Amino acid sequence: MLKAENLSVGYGNYVVVEGINLEINRGEILCIIGPNGAGKSTLLKTIATYLKPKKGVVYLNGKKIHDLKPKDLAKEMAVVLTERVNPGNMTGFDVVAIGRHPYTDLFGRLTERDKEIIIESARAVNAEYLLEKNFFEMSDGERQKIMIARALAQEPKVLILDEPTSFLDAKHKIELTLLLRKLADEKNLAIVVTLHDIELALRIADKMALIKNHKVIAYGYPENVMKREIVNELYDLKNANYSEVIGYFELKSNPIKNKKIFVICGGGTGANVLRYLVKNRYEVVVGILHKNDADYFIAEAMGVKIIEEEAYNKISKEKFEEALKELKNSDVVVYTDFPIGEMNELNLKLIEEAKNLKKRIIFYREDISVLKGV
């Protein structure tokens, strides 16, 4: 459907990104991610034909996109950019109706069919209730929906969106991102979108292009490209680590408090405790965790010390002894309401040992304030 071949994009003599090769079919979402100023918008504007390529070609259905007549292109491709638009005293309906321009007569008259498409486009983004409302009285999220409805009213096959979630709160970010997935699936659109929320991008994209230092540093299935080394490098991360299992970042442990906390947890019950302690700059040791435990993945991304056991193996005596040594050197022991089975029952013994050693012991189940000022 859409293909960029050896494309270089930029302004005047300034080449922002070069050597871009991308391909996207109908029903697919391509997410472009990268740090500020990497050239995501420049690439989108070039695909949208607002900018001429410095080099290379963009094809739409095998035709050079920059050679297409604007009216013909508008029937194939719709574009939603980031800029806050101010269309004056227009209703939602009037704004969505702009999307029908490639199809209307010289006077811009709307037929009954045009009106149906306008309403249907608003319905597709759950914005029918906004058709009568003044555009300038809408919230950012509502405006964004209307702008997407306007794009849909063009009945395009390709939809290009530049940071469509940038002014939205968490709820609307999620809603809009899911809407893009729905449009790809149900309207069979090819969607190219820039997003800053990598955790959402990972979950909806079919393909991902990571842009940095004037290049596409990784391109392909998100599940293939979103690897720790690649994502850490993309954002020059020093104080956090990307985790493939979590699909997001964890803060790296960087203790400054003069207290060592031994955490006994498992099965994800330690997630909040670990995050609280690392955020508050305590030294943390955690164990004994199996290498396939949810808490293991969090602790590993944080870089805290882990007493670890192989997956599906009973905790060994050696590991128990190692944990006990760490426990003896700790100031406080925190344990959670973790599930216990044959594999990890020695963790109960660790708690017993902590009692014998008269350690300060804190039990966490739901309320993190038990750790306040630990």
Ligand X SMILES: Nc1ncnc2c1ncn2[C@@H]1O[C@H](COP(=O)(O)OP(=O)(O)OP(=O)(O)O)[C@@H](O)[C@H]1O
Q: Which residues bind ligand X (CB under 6 A)?
A: 11, 14, 16, 34, 36-42
How far apart are alpha carbons 90 and 108 in whole angstroms?
A: 16
Looking at the Cβ atoms of 13 and 86, the one nearer to ligand X is 13
Shorter beta-carbon distance to ligand X: residue 14 or 312: 14
Q: What sign does the CA torsion over 230, 234, 235, 236 have?
A: positive
Rounded to the nearest whole angstrom, what is the least distance from the CB of residue 64 to ligand X in the complex? Answer: 22
Q: How far is the CB of 7 from ligand X (least distance, A)?
A: 14
Q: How far is the CB of 43 from ligand X (least distance, A)?
A: 7
Structure tokens at 108: 């811009």
Which one, of 17, 19, 11, 12, lies nearest residue 57 by Cα? 19
Residues 6+ apart with CB under 8 A from 89: 134, 136
Least Å distance, CB 350 to ligand X, is 47
User: What are the structure tokens assigned to 124, written together?
Assistant: 């597709």
Pair 316, 295: CB distance under 8 Å: no
Q: CB–CB of 272/278 below 8 Å?
A: no
Q: Which is nearer to ligand X, 211 or 226 (CB)?
A: 211
Q: Least distance in Å: CB of 198 to ligand X?
A: 12
Is the Cβ of residue 41 or residue 121 nearer to ligand X in the bound state?
Answer: 41
SS3 235: coil
DSSP at 82:
S
**Could you tell me the smallest distance in angstroms from the CB atom of residue 32 to ligand X?**
8
Of 147 and 334, which has the nearer Cβ to ligand X?
Answer: 147
Distance in Å, CB of 166 to ligand X, minimum: 8
DSSP, res 83: S
Cβ distance to ligand X smaller for residue 197 or 300? 197
- Angle at alpha carbon of residue 55, lines to 49 and 61, rounded to 5°: 50
Cα(28)–Cα(3) distance, integer angstroms? 13
Q: Within 13 Å and on the Cβ side, how many CA atoms surround 129? A: 3
Of 11 and 136, the one with the shorter C-beta distance to ligand X is 11
